[in-house]
A and B are shown apart, each in its own frame.
Chain A
Amino acid sequence: MSGGQYHRPHRRAWFMERPAYIRFMIREVTSFFMAAYLIVLIVTLAKVGVGEAAAAEWLQALSTTGWKVAHAVALAATVWHTITFFAAVPQAMPIYIGEDRLPDPIAKIVMGYGPWLTATAIILWGVLR
């Protein structure tokens, strides 16, 4: 005999219960790769600050297969995180024109992909010219 309410047991592996939860966890995990790459980037800037020889030595160290794979993984994680981030932008920052809400696909371009591609193009122009 119980006589009271039934409380379901705590679910430790809740993230395995629905595909959407797994997608959420993948999105969150990509942050670690982005953070790791930022550390590499900061070290690179520090080496450049030290001098040309230190920078060249650091870049040489980064040219190993292991580092190349790490960079490829970080790039894939960053691209995926960016896509999921831009997908969330219209929900978090809806734009209204009068009483009409800007459709999500347009909002993603206006606030996400547009500025991203523009910034990328400017940086590429600065680097390659």
Chain B
Amino acid sequence: MAETKTITLELFRYHPETDSEPRFQSYEVPYDEDWVVLDAINWIKDYVDGSVTHRWSCRMGVCGSCGMMVNGEPKLTCAAFLKNYYPFPIKVEPLVNFPVERDLVVDMEGFMDKLQDVKPYIIRDDVNDTSEGEYLQTPAELAQYKQYSMCINCMLCYSACPVVGHEDDFLGPAALALGHRYNKDSRDQGQSERLEVMLRSEAMWGCTFVGECTVVCPKHVDPAGAIQQAKAMGAQEYFKRFVMPKGAGATKGAGA
């Protein structure tokens, strides 16, 4: 009878009620080349150790819940196949640059606050009644921001960015890309409000264009590109305010 192939997973373990420091625990998992790292973690939780804590939902790269460090790289574990690591052990850790709540689960609160800071919604001076029809948009206008609207908030970009780990005031790749997404929306008139936040000290200027946020993004959002474009937009706004202080806030947005 053929021996069942296995692969070793080394999981980061931290239970705040008993541990003062994290530790790694090894598990032997049946190897199936169709399995992803998330399948292996779920198998461990179901059949070996129910205390393993991790976050997941859709298993198809849509929800953005299962982001973890896989052998030091930020990955969606539902898209990281075991066959890409076999026969070597796989080390799984919670995303770096975030506080760890428990095992593989990180605290998202700071990230959610930063998303809120950039006002990720359409801002209008006038709110028309729906009876007056929709705010129309051409395909060319949609193309200006569509790429930046594909973010699934998986936070891989925050783990790939060295600035996030060193500068608390930096809003981070996903939040800035989202802010830029609305600044580029032809229906929006809130560019000045958003730039007010983004122009704060290190909020946006902290980005040194390392570019790894774009490399690890599973949805090809290109946050690094969005931030550089937002910087150019912010610089224009800054000089407008410098030259015409009384006209500050005059820039309404892509659609104004």
Do the two chains belong together in a single complex? Answer: yes
Say whether A99 contacts B99, CB under 8 Å.
no
Query: Is B87 interfacial (CB-CB < 8 Å)?
Result: no
Query: Which residue on A lies nearest to B138, using beta carbons?
Result: A99
Assess the B222–A6 pair: CB atoms within 8 A. no
Smallest Cβ distance from A103 to chain B, in angstroms?
14
Rounded to whole angstroms, the CA-CA distance of A4 and B228 in the bound complex is: 37
CB–CB A21/B162 < 8 A: yes
Count of interface residues, chain A, beta-carbon cutoff 8 Å: 29
Contact of A7 among B99, B139, B143, B224 (CB under 8 A): B99
Is B20 within 8 A of A1, CB to CB? yes
Residues of A within 8 A of B21 (CB): 6
Interface stretch, picked from B32-40, B188-196, B205-213, B248-256, is B205-213
**Interfacial residues, chain A to chain B (CB-CB below 8 A):** 1-8, 10-11, 14-15, 17-18, 20-21, 24, 28, 88, 90-94, 96, 98-101
A3 adjacent to B140 (CB under 8 Å) = no
State A127–B162 Cα separation when bound (angstroms): 45
Contacts of B19 in A (CB 8 A): 2, 6
**Docked pose: A85 CA to B200 CA in angstroms:** 26
Q: Mark B76-105, 1 if CB is under 8 A from A, else 0.
A: 000000000000000000001001110000
In this complex, which of A2, A3, A10, A101 has the most chain B Cβ atoms within 10 angstroms of its Cβ?
A2
Give the interface of B toward A (CB within 8 A).
14, 16-22, 72, 96, 99-101, 107, 138-140, 142-144, 162, 165-166, 208-212, 214-215, 222, 224-225, 228-229, 232
How far, in Å, is A91 (CB) from chain B's closest CB? Answer: 3
**Complex CA distance for A17 and B209, rounded to whole angstroms:** 17
- A4→B212 contact, CB < 8 A: no
Q: B211 — which chain A residues lie within 8 A by C-beta?
A: 20, 24, 88, 91
Chain A nearest Cβ from B20, distance in angstroms: 4
Contact status B16-A93, CB under 8 Å? no
User: Shortest distance in angstroms between B71's beta carbon and chain A's nearest beta carbon?
Assistant: 12
Chain A residue nearest in CB terms to B147? A101
Q: A93-B229, A96-B140 given as contacts; is B20 within 8 A of A2 (CB)?
A: yes
User: What are 11 A-B contacts with C-beta separation under 8 Å?
Assistant: A1-B18, A5-B99, A5-B100, A6-B100, A8-B96, A91-B211, A91-B214, A91-B225, A93-B232, A98-B139, A100-B143
Rounded to whole angstroms, the CA-CA distance of A6 and B107 in the bound complex is: 10
